[in-house]
């Protein structure tokens, strides 16, 4: 819906950034989204069954009794009962609404689901149910997720690879284990240090960032994090660091982190 201003989107090897509406339509079926607000993203004038069945109608995948049967199957897959199909969104709890959103995303059998903070509006116990459901569905259907979140506990639980962003730029990209055991970017260090530890007697080094977050509309010159980074040097203020692989499958955008060189002797 929003035209990109830079970069490129490639889906299964096909560039779709500049695709027309007609060219993009078959690709849209492969990409679905689960929204942050499980109530505002559902049409209050449609029943739950109509909401989940709408994608099947839009793509001409099923009609009549066949569509109704598909919707019943999707309801069962996300833990909802068939009689829920006749209810309206306001009759469901927050967790049930998000299950509706997940069922709707699954309806057209996508390859990729974007989760835009899909559990941040839910209670913690309900968050766990939604996350475990998404992980089960990923294994069952072979799905890929782009999971956007600010809760590091959720990120650690669901992710395989993690990209840390600051003011719209990726500053670190690696697998989950490397990120949580060996963070390389100062911003990632600060994020991990801010996570509360459920043990009153356990002490650890505080990593308090100074200053306020700059405006994303007018980011600082050079490294976008230099205004709050305790390790910033002159080069950080002048030049924007590229995202480089400093260790195998571990990329960092920081002038203070250099790629490791490997010497091989004959």
| Same domain assignment for residues 75 and 188 | no
Residue 175 falls within a domain, yes or no?
Answer: no
Task: Please state, in angstroms and rounded to a whole number, the distance separating the CA atoms of residues 259 and 247.
Answer: 7
pLDDT score for 264: 54
Of 125, 159, 193, the domain-final residue:
159
Give one word for 222, left, alpha or beta, with left for phi > 0 and alpha for psi -120 to 50: left
**Which residues contact residue 258 at a Cβ distance below 8 angstroms, ignoring those fewer than 6 apart?**
246
Domain count, the chain: 2
Whether 231 contacts 186, CB under 8 Å = yes
Locus of tokens 């790629």: 259
- Read off the tokens for 123: 């209670």
| Distance in angstroms (rounded) separating the CA atoms of residues 194 and 189 | 9
What are the backbone dihedrals phi and psi of residue 34, each rounded to the nearest 5 degrees, phi first?
Answer: -115, 120
Instruction: Report if residue 65 sits inside a domain.
Output: yes
- Residues 141, 215, single domain; the answer is no
Task: Print pLDDT tens along the chain (266 aa).
Answer: 778 888 899 999 999 998 888 999 989 999 999 999 988 999 999 999 999 999 999 999 999 999 999 999 999 999 999 999 999 999 999 999 999 999 999 999 999 999 999 998 888 888 889 999 999 999 999 999 999 999 998 999 999 999 999 999 999 999 999 999 999 999 999 999 888 777 777 776 667 788 889 998 899 999 999 999 999 999 999 999 999 999 999 999 999 988 776 555 55
The span from the CA of 84 to the CA of 70, in Å, is: 14
The strand ranges marked E within 40-111 are: none
Q: What pLDDT is recorded for position 122?
A: 87
Whether residue 17 is contained in a domain is answered as yes
β-strands 112-116, 31-34 pairing: parallel
Q: Within this chain, do residues 132 and 187 fall inside the same structural domain, yes or no?
A: no
- Do 247 and 178 touch, CB atoms closer than 8 A? yes
Q: In what order do the strands lie in the sheet with 161-166?
A: 161-166, 169-175, 250-252, 244-247
pLDDT attached to residue 266: 55
How far apart CA 190 and CA 208 sit, in angstroms, is 7
| Cβ neighbours for 101, distance < 8 A, ≥ 6 positions apart | 34, 35, 38, 41, 42, 118
Distance between CA atoms of residues 261 and 264, nearest Å: 10
195 and 70 together in one domain: no
Bridge partners for 252 per DSSP:
172, 244
Could you tell me if 144 and 209 lie in one domain? Answer: no
Residue 100 lies in domain: 10-159
User: What is the distance between the alpha carbons of residues 216 and 204, in angstroms, rounded to a whole number?
Assistant: 31
Q: Which pLDDT value is given to residue 265? A: 57
């Amino acid at each position: 819906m929003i035209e990109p201003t830079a970069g490129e989107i490639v889906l299964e090897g096909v560039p779709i950034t500049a695709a027309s509406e007609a060219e993009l339509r078959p690709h849209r079926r492969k990409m679905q989204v689960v929204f942050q607000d499980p109530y505002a993203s559902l049409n209050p004038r449609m029943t739950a069954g109509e909401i989940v069945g709408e994608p099947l109608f839009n793509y001409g995948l099923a009609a009549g009794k066949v569509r109704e049967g598909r919707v019943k199957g999707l309801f069962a897959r996300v833990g909802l009962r068939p009689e829920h199909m006749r209810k309206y969104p306001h009759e469901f709890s927050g967790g049930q609404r998000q299950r509706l959103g997940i069922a709707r995303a699954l309806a057209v059998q996508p390859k990729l689901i974007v989760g835009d903070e899909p559990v941040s509006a839910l209670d913690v116990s309900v968050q766990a149910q939604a996350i475990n459901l998404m992980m089960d569905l990923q294994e069952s259907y072979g799905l890929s997720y782009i999971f956007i979140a600010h809760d590091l506990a959720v990120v650690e639980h669901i992710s395989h690879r993690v990209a840390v962003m600051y003011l719209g730029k990726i500053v670190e990209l690696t697998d989950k284990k490397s990120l949580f055991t060996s963070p390389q970017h100062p911003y990632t260090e600060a994020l991990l240090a801010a996570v509360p530890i459920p043990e009153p007697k356990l002490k650890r080094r505080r990593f308090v960032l100074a200053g306020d977050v700059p405006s994303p509309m007018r980011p600082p010159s050079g490294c976008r994090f230099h205004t709050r980074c305790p390790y910033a040097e002159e080069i950080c203020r002048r030049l924007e660091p590229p995202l480089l692989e400093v260790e195998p499958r571990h990329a960092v955008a920081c002038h203070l982190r250099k790629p490791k060189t490997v010497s091989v002797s004959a």
